Amino acid sequence: MKRVGGRHLIVVAVAVLAAVAGFLVSRGTSDPAPAAQVDPAAGNAILALALPDSHGELQALQQWHGRVLVVNFWATWCPPCLTEIPDFAAVSRGFADSPVQFVGLAIDKAESVRKFGAEHDVPYPLLIGTQQTLGLTTALGNAVQALPYTIIFDRTGKIAHIKLGTLNRTELEGKIRALLGE
């Protein structure tokens, strides 16, 4: 019997996760767990993260406390993620003078993320996470740990919205404006 290498298994696992994510997105999956029913400790675990950015500098999510915080779990190899990032970039630019902060948590290699951020002029921090980082979303209803997965925190640090699958520009702007009282 031929032995399968660890790299091959990772590629297969990623492909399976991407397929599941695509399936869920195609079914219109939105809020995996209504934000009002989420255990606050699960959100606190996300806010307690300190991860390196694509240049290796450690960034703590707590530095953006007091802002509406849009945390998007994504990867350069995830087609639905790549579909929504231009909208995220545009909305981020549109709220540049507001107390709103976007953060991309990439489940990917720093080199790939750095290259993607530069090529696509992403205006917000792109942090490098791991499969364990994505695992924190399980407590928030993302049992299959699919991407993209977005959590929007209000200015007090409470989870206001959760979305498994892509968020379009109109939907994203509406959720943020509601949290800003606009």
Architecture of the domain delimited by 6-180: 3-Layer(aba) Sandwich (3.40)
How far from 148 is each of 20, 32, 89, 136, CA to CA, in Å?
11, 12, 15, 14
Q: Enter the pTM of the model.
A: 0.81
pLDDT for 30: 45
Task: State the residue for tokens 């990772």.
Answer: 10
Check residue 35 and give its pLDDT.
65
Q: Where are the domains of the chain?
A: 6-180
Q: Beta-strand (E) ranges in 1-115? A: 50-52, 58-60, 68-74, 100-107
* Helix, strand, coil shares, percent, the chain, to 5: 45, 20, 35
According to the model, what pLDDT value does residue 28 have? Answer: 42
Residue 3, Cβ density class (10 Å: 0-12 exposed, 13-18 middle, ≥19 buried) = exposed
Whether cis (ω within 30° of 0) applies to the bond prior to 148 is yes
**b/e code 160-177 from CB counts within 10 Å (16+ = b):** bbbbbbbbeeeebbebbe
Rounded alpha-carbon distances, angstroms, from residue 149 to 116, 122, 134, 142, 165:
18, 18, 9, 8, 6
pLDDT at residue 12, as a whole number: 40
User: With a cut of 50, which residues of the chain have pLDDT below it?
Assistant: 1-2, 4, 7-31
pLDDT at position 32 is 54
Question: How high is the pLDDT of residue 39?
Answer: 75
